[in-house]
Amino acid sequence: MSQAAVISRSLNGLLSHKLSRRWYVGYAAALAAVSIVSLLIGLVLGQVNLANSSMLYLLAVMASAVAFGRGPAVFASVAAFLVFDWFFVEPLHQFTVADPEEWVSLVFFVLTATVTGQLAAGQRQRALEARQREREAVVLYEVVRLMSEAEFETALAAVADRLRRELQVAAVAVELARPKGAPLRVVSGDPASVRLLNASTGSAAHVLQSGPVPLRGGHGASGRWVRIVSPTRQKHSLGSDLPENVHLVPIRVSDRRLGAVLLLQPSEDFETADDRLVSAAATQIGLAAERDRLNKEATEAEILRRTDQLRAALLNAVSHDLRTPLATIIASAGSLRQQDVAWTADERQAFAQAIEEQAERLNRLVSNLLDLSRIEGGILRPQKNWHDLGLLIDDVVRRLGSVTRPHRITVSVPDELPPVLLDPVEIDEVLSNLVENAAK
């Protein structure tokens, strides 16, 4: 038998044991409490004439109500009535009463015991609900606090681990769809349970449906688990009854499903408070995911806005830089074509040199614009290698001699400077732009 099947069957065994124990423990404890009080009355107080000794059974009834609720409390009341009538009311060992007044006492006793048990059980229920509300508030506060962390995926993993520990399940997975790319999935649990949950993607057998919308002034009811039976579902390779242990809680925001919370735990072991807690946690996860998406979209929009501003400023600056060499080239070429002017050889050489220099400058500007578009597209990547930085600077200064001729340039490179890891083409462009801008 595989390890997955062993774990799955162990979970089912634990579930059956818990359900059967929940059914009889309270009633067995109530019967034991009534028996103890009866022994106390018979062995200890039987030697003393104590009126209304039946009231001692109220202790057993209240203890059963406080510890186990209404059902065991009512059972304790009825059991105390029968035991007291059988053992301590004349005639003994019969359910008949010799003195009619005893009937009145017994009836008032059982009524008093029942009412007392109901009141004590009500107080117990209210205290339990208060603890559940406090637990929900604390867990939801921690979920909200964790989801406010900067790294969304890390916060999601912390929330999954917190839910697993709070709900006491074997493993918890959170799946979220992404507009771009693969869905985000984080899993928390021991390695064996994580493998089971990872292998059960899309094969959950129970889905937590949303409860009815609360009316004005009312409270929202928790959802209910709905069993999903697929006619095409196959036996899972890791365990024949694995899908029965996987339960899904949808994550929705504004009627849009963003993902799901997967639980490796039988739904019958969950209480209503657990259903309400995991549903509220799923809602908070959905809100955090939506907030993260909106933040990313806002960031991308801001980046695009600033990129457009920068592009507009760059085009304004480049348009001026483009017009200057074009005007020089057009003017020099037009002068050379004039037939009515006898240009000397030196003048023609100067015009040709101006055309060449401005054409090279124009070529650099166009290359920079093309490189900018390739950088934005992610195509241009540095090709790094070891180079002598001093030689690279000398090449730049020599090539830009015509631009820097009116200025004095001092180059200071330490002789002991080792080769530097860089892309010579891109660093050449950087240095050329810096020197040319400084000259301007």
Contact 249, 237 (CB under 8 A): no
Closest CA to 398 of 350, 431, 440, 352: 431
CA max distance for the chain: 152
Q: How far apart are CA 316 and CA 366, in angstroms?
A: 14
- Whole-number pLDDT of residue 418: 92
Q: How far apart are CA 76 and CA 66, in angstroms?
A: 12
CATH classification of 151-211+222-295, choosing from 3.40.50.1400, 3.30.450.40, 3.40.309.10, 3.30.70.2190?
3.30.450.40
Question: Which amino acid, residue 243?
Answer: P
The residues with which 250 forms a beta bridge, in sequence order, are 260
How many CB atoms within 10 Å of residue 250? 18
Q: How far apart are CA 187 and CA 200, in angstroms?
A: 12
- Whole-number pLDDT of residue 358: 83
Question: Which amino acid, residue 417?
Answer: L
Sequence-ordered list of residues with C-beta below 8 angstroms from that of 435, at least 6 positions apart, any chain: 396, 397, 400, 403, 404, 409
Q: How far apart are CA 247 and CA 281, in angstroms?
A: 15
Residue 168, token pair as written in the block: 């006491």
pLDDT tens sequence across 309-330: 887 887 777 777 778 788 888 8
Residue 189, token pair as written in the block: 């649990």
Break the chain into its structural domains and give their ranges: 11-132, 151-211+222-295, 382-440
Among 192-196, 389-393, 424-428, which range has the highest average pLDDT? 389-393
pLDDT tens sequence across 115-150: 777 777 788 778 877 887 887 788 778 888 887 776
DSSP of 300-320: HHHHHHHHHHHHHHHHHHHHH
Contact 90, 99 (CB under 8 A): yes
Question: Which amino acid, residue 162?
Answer: R
- Whole-number pLDDT of residue 231: 55
| pLDDT, mean of residues 372-387 | 78
Q: How far apart are CA 50 and CA 64, in angstroms?
A: 24
